[in-house]
Homo-oligomer: A and B are copies of this chain.
Amino acid sequence: MNQIKETAYKSGGFIGKYQRLIKDEVIPFQYKVLRDEVEGAEKSGVVENFINAGMVLRGEKPYGDFYGMVFQDSDAAKWIEAAAYSLANFPDSELEEKADNLIDVIAAAQDEDGYLNTRFTISDKEKRWTNLLEAHELYCAGHMMEAACAYYEATGKDKLLKVMLKNTDCIYKRFIEEKNGGCSGHPEVELALMKMYHLTGENKCLELAQYFIDERGKDPDFFKNEAAKRNWTVWGNNASDTAYMQCHMPVREQSTAVGHAVRAVYLYTGMAELSAKTGDKELLEACKTLWDSITKRQMYVTGGIGSTVIGEAFSVDYDLPSDTVYAETCAAIGLIFFGSAMLKNEIDGKYGDICERAFYNGVLAGMALDGKSFFYVNPLEVIPNISGKSPNYRHDLTQRPKWYACACCPPNLARLVSSFGKYAYGENADTVYCHMFADGEVTFENGVEMTCETNYPYDFTVSYKVKKAEGKTLAVRIPGWSKKYELLLNGKILGTRVEKGYAYIEVTSGDEVKLILDGTPRFVYPSSKIHSLTGSVAVMRGPLVYCFEGKDNEDDVISLSLKTGEGLSVSEFDSDLLGGTVTVTASAVRQTAFEELYSDEEPQTCECKAVAVPYYVWGNRGEGQMRVWMDKA
């Protein structure tokens, strides 16, 4: 089963609109940020760092010192990767030239032995590889590998790919040949090496990925011993907190998702990619157990993960507060990577269900509708004057900031959206898989060509028009949330084989497969084990989690409670509202405010309506209350 090339997918509809936004707003803006051309924005120094590193290597005096975070280089990588996917969707010679030029600058910053990292090239060469715990050298390498693969796939240009193959040699020498031991404090290179391997067939990539995954947690004291040997630190990270970086035990023994959430899902993605390639059953079992640990006990209804700001981390089972939540955008993105990698191991609708949940809620909410501001943290409830202000909620902002000093989420979101096709489809020799729905054209390596027509997630009919297919099977995920559905082949109702959430339909050229899902809005109830959500209820429609904003509800949503005994009503699609959306209205009760802090008198209430908008559009109309989980009346 191979992932299809992203070049083969051209999307329209809802996803296409987002991809256009990424192209028009995010990529140009981020390009300027990298070059420090945005007035008033925090200095990035990314391009300057590469220029300076090149100068140092050529024996010239650099313009200045390294600037920024230790992982600053990865911003360039993520931008190139996003630009590559975007070029695949929307050819643009000007953008391509910019990317080519940046790649030239990057290539010039590579040392003779293939080492590529500006932090330890501009100065401190002797510190290379001495702080795997914090220095992010392998993390930055991983992102640049992903960029190299994407850019080659989009443009056929292999300059960056060659740079990264040479960099792979450098890493191979250090870790495999010289046996220096260790792995990266921040996983990422593992999944990137698997991409390099799939694209180039270079065995060193596979070997290295396997090495880093097997090595992890084997010696829980590795980082402690490493730290004892050096006299410098980046952030003073605690080398003994091995769970923070998933090094507390060998990965095959890990059964609970712990530590920094982005690191965790990046690691698990690498593991799942490796097991899909090698057929390593033990590794796959660990992945399945970790998947359950996240999705059955540690995931927000939005697909957000990593509930605590302390360490940007998983906390413990069923600890999913709506207000002090972290739920980093990058972690939800990483969960999609993980789910997508699991689908290369086994076809099961549960993975697509979660990928879709994370994408339409936890991820998309990370960006403003105009593509100009971003959330790093994604609360499920904000209260002006508390969120962003009280010490426990300082990270839970009510409005998206323009940019961050640690700018990981915006470019991560840009690359995910731009490469949506990679996650929407899969294939093997006989079968094409539709994991997620998106309007557009798709060409599979196994020869199948088809178009998908849909206004999903606002319309619940998805039509596949098969242009080309002979003796192939179309496997379409039936979302777990759809209480009923109809499948039509050329207009006739099908009694189809459905297995683990996928309907399997034999198709030939000219066929039209239509899937009609249930767009009835619904109440969703939390497990009674989530102590912060007892007595509450949320509203969903299709894959969209809804939320209640002050703007639609007299500036006060927290005194509303929903009457779950009465139905939910759906508005017409309003193309003028929040980029085009549909509201859902519930019958509700509003508690009348009283003066005291606590009262012995039962508060008065009045009947009213409560209006919800999709979670992904929240915070686009100024500051106000927002709540996903509402009290039940």
Q: Which of B525, B532, B603, B631 is A601 in contact with, Cβ under 8 Å?
A: B525
Query: Would you give the 0/1 interface string for A530-550, flagging 1 where the beta carbon is closer than 8 Å to chain B?
Result: 111011101010000000000
Bound complex: CA A536 to CA B533 (Å): 12
Contact in complex: B631, A535 (CB < 8 Å): yes
Contact in complex: B598, A527 (CB < 8 Å): yes
Contact in complex: B528, A591 (CB < 8 Å): yes
Contact in complex: B392, A528 (CB < 8 Å): no
> CB of A600 within 8 A of chain B?
yes
> CB of A81 within 8 A of chain B?
no
Given the known A-B contacts A310-B391, A316-B386, A559-B528, are A535 and B598 also in contact in the complex, defined by CB atoms under 8 Å? Answer: no
A508 to chain B, nearest CB (A): 36
Given the known A-B contacts A316-B386, A386-B318, A559-B528, are A392 and B391 also in contact in the complex, defined by CB atoms under 8 Å? Answer: no
B residues less than 8 Å from A525 (CB atoms): 598-603
Q: Which one of A10-18, A292-300, A497-505 contacts B?
A: A292-300
Bound complex: CA A536 to CA B386 (Å): 20
Bound complex: CA A103 to CA B599 (Å): 48
B residues less than 8 Å from A235 (CB atoms): none
B residues less than 8 Å from A534 (CB atoms): 558-559, 561, 591, 631
B residues less than 8 Å from A315 (CB atoms): 386, 390-392
Contact in complex: B308, A391 (CB < 8 Å): yes
Query: Would you give the 0/1 interface string for A476-488, flagging 1 where the beta carbon is closer than 8 Å to chain B?
Result: 0000010100000
Given the known A-B contacts A391-B313, A531-B558, are A602 and B523 also in contact in the complex, defined by CB atoms under 8 Å? Answer: yes
B residues less than 8 Å from A624 (CB atoms): none
A532 to chain B, nearest CB (A): 7
Bound complex: CA A558 to CA B319 (Å): 13
Q: Which of B299, B389, B527 is A594 in contact with, Cβ under 8 Å?
A: B527
Bound complex: CA A524 to CA B603 (Å): 10
Given the known A-B contacts A392-B315, A392-B324, A599-B524, are A593 and B559 also in contact in the complex, defined by CB atoms under 8 Å? Answer: no
Contact in complex: A524, B598 (CB < 8 Å): yes
> CB of A621 within 8 A of chain B?
no
Interface on chain A toward B: helix, strand, loop, or mixed SS?
loop
Contact in complex: B385, A531 (CB < 8 Å): no
B residues less than 8 Å from A553 (CB atoms): none
> CB of A596 within 8 A of chain B?
yes
B residues less than 8 Å from A523 (CB atoms): 600, 602
Residue from A313, A319, A559, A564 with most neighbouring chain B CB atoms (10 Å): A319
Give the copy number. Answer: 2
> CB of A321 within 8 A of chain B?
yes
Bound complex: CA A456 to CA B321 (Å): 39
Contact in complex: A600, B524 (CB < 8 Å): yes
A314 to chain B, nearest CB (A): 9
Q: Which of B297, B535, B536, B599 is A597 in contact with, Cβ under 8 Å?
A: B297
Chain B minimum-CB-distance residue to A392: B308
Contact in complex: B600, A522 (CB < 8 Å): yes
Bound complex: CA A108 to CA B483 (Å): 82
B residues less than 8 Å from A323 (CB atoms): 321, 531-532
Contact in complex: A391, B311 (CB < 8 Å): yes
Residue from A313, A318, A564 with most neighbouring chain B CB atoms (10 Å): A318
Q: Which of B316, B392, B601 is A390 in contact with, Cβ under 8 Å?
A: B316
A386 to chain B, nearest CB (A): 5
Bound complex: CA A12 to CA B313 (Å): 52
Residue from A323, A381, A525 with most neighbouring chain B CB atoms (10 Å): A525
Q: Which of B296, B299, B385, B529 is A593 in contact with, Cβ under 8 Å?
A: B529
> CB of A301 within 8 A of chain B?
yes
A24 to chain B, nearest CB (A): 35
Bound complex: CA A385 to CA B531 (Å): 11
Chain B minimum-CB-distance residue to A540: B600
A471 to chain B, nearest CB (A): 38
Contact in complex: B390, A602 (CB < 8 Å): no
Query: Would you give the 0/1 interface string for A581-619, flagging 1 where the beta carbon is closer than 8 Å to chain B?
Result: 000000000011110111111110000000000000000
Q: Which of B319, B385, B558, B592 is A386 in contact with, Cβ under 8 Å?
A: B319
Which residues of A come within 8 Å of B, CB atoms? 295-297, 299, 301, 308-311, 313, 315-319, 321, 323-324, 381, 383, 385-386, 389-393, 481, 483, 522-532, 534-536, 538, 540, 556, 558-559, 561, 564, 591-594, 596-603, 631-632
Write 16 A-B pairs (CB below 8 A) sorted by A numbering: A297-B597, A311-B391, A316-B385, A316-B390, A324-B324, A383-B531, A523-B600, A525-B600, A525-B601, A527-B597, A528-B592, A530-B597, A531-B558, A534-B559, A534-B591, A535-B535
| A-B residue pairs, 9 tightest by C-beta | A535-B631, A310-B391, A315-B390, A528-B559, A319-B390, A316-B390, A528-B591, A308-B391, A383-B531
